[in-house]
Structure 1
């Protein structure tokens, strides 16, 4: 397995953000907020900061590991065939230069950078950087999660937050990103007992939502948009601290799967609680309910 210096990696990301992202925050001119076709063919916002950050990271990450390639959200939007690079063996960086671009473009602080290193299709390192919160989350496989260079204790941090959530009467709190084209599921979600599963508003930023899952502020995240740069780093960090992410059909998350309903949980036992609550009556479950 390839090894990297996490301090070097996080330093690369922090310096790139300091030079390419933060100087443009709340300073974007009208002609610096553009539109693009994403990997799914849908139109969405992109800024000059997104593209500058990805170009900077592509240069610096491949310099850190000369035999690696970068598969980034912005590069794939320009050339969708670049996503196929992830199906090849070797080392690849999965990069979301600015996750939460819409927030960033409107001057909202909920945005971050997500980077995951994969080797022969397996994630071996991950970073989520939320600059406005001053939080650099990082991990290498088998070594636990670091927050700003220090070991993060999920039990110590999560206990107080879990107690606070239970005081508000929720068994599991989290964000539901439901597929708009599944009318049955969207309607059913409105009937869920909040004492069992309590949906909370989205951050519109997977980076900060995964951080809230790591800290215990949230118990689960449900996503219907499954692109690798949105989830590879977050799921890797989550698994390194004992959580997990699975699809509704029972498959474990892998960055090679781009469709489905993905449920990420801080505590694996909560998967069944949330999954059961979301089961639409009369519709066959994708997996046996526990």
Structure 2
């Protein structure tokens, strides 16, 4: 599938399975995973199934690694670094925000070739913003290219909502940095590529993942 077709797929799946449940979840629609407070909803599960099925149909042989599938079977994650072709799926990033009725959530995909992220998609349905990145070709917000000059010299404020909101804020210069202890691939591969293609960077230090905006990545 070409880049625009994948974005269309994400929008369609979210419109069918996620958005209709925003602000309308019942108590039976929400449960906890392995850890208390680590929430999953019926929207997460249904959207992941739909996205994964469509990606497998369009790309036979590709490994599709979804957050909820890995939660049920952690062994699925082992093949990701060595797969010739793979996708990660985060059906609702920021599930706690989604459950609480906050618009700060997103659906994210990343495509990998031989362990390297080559394309990514982030769709924020309540903000109606789409972010796409292609390795070596650039990053875009709603079709407008993001560059290292987009941000200018703004105050380097931190951000800390969810990865599907944080990384676009960093890439567009609306925040300066973010730090993460949790480092799951479906959380960080989509935004990491977006940020890198916009001129920012991601690095690890003492077990912490640091994401820096283009402004924060420049010499003082």
Smaller-chain TM-score bracket: over 0.9
Matches within 5 A, 1:253-264: 260-264=207-211
**Cα 1:81–1:23 shift into 2, 3 Å:** same
Runs (5+) with no aligned partner, structure 1: 166-171, 176-201, 250-259, 274-290
Matches within 5 A, 1:105-254: 105-148=99-142, 150-155=143-148, 157-159=150-152, 162-163=153-154, 165=155, 172-175=156-159, 202-203=160-161, 205-248=162-205
CA distance in 2, matches of 1:271, 1:263: 15
**Cα 1:272–1:50 shift into 2, 3 Å:** farther
2:26 counterpart residue number = 29
2:91 counterpart residue number = 97
Tell me how far 1:271 sits from its aligned partner: 8.1
Residue pair 1:100, 1:111 contacting (<8 A) in 2 also: yes
RMSD of the alignment, in Å?
Answer: 1.8
> Cα deviation per residue 1:26-57 (whole Å; 9 max; x = unaligned)?
111110011111xxxx3311100000010010
Residue pair 1:144, 1:240 contacting (<8 A) in 2 also: yes
Tell me how far 1:17 sits from its aligned partner: 0.3
CA distance in 1, matches of 2:109, 2:147: 21
TM-score, structure 1 length as denominator?
0.71
CA distance in 1, matches of 2:129, 2:68: 24
Runs of 4+ in 1 over 2 A off after TM superposition: 153-157, 267-273
Tell me how far 1:111 sits from its aligned partner: 0.3
Question: The residue matched to 1:218 in structure 2 has which SS?
Answer: coil
Tell me how far 1:87 sits from its aligned partner: 3.1
The structure with the largest alpha-carbon Rg is 1
Residue pair 1:33, 1:46 contacting (<8 A) in 2 also: yes
TM-score, structure 2 length as denominator?
0.93
Question: The residue matched to 1:139 in structure 2 has which SS?
Answer: strand
CA distance in 1, matches of 2:6, 2:122: 11
CA distance in 1, matches of 2:75, 2:129: 33
Runs (5+) with no aligned partner, structure 2: none
CA distance in 2, matches of 1:154, 1:123: 19
CA distance in 2, matches of 1:236, 1:102: 24
Tell me how far 1:268 sits from its aligned partner: 7.4
Residue pair 1:265, 1:271 contacting (<8 A) in 2 also: no
CA distance in 2, matches of 1:272, 1:35: 43
CA distance in 2, matches of 1:92, 1:222: 26
Give the length in aligned residue pairs.
219
CA distance in 1, matches of 2:20, 2:124: 15
Matches within 5 A, 1:5-20: 5-20=2-17
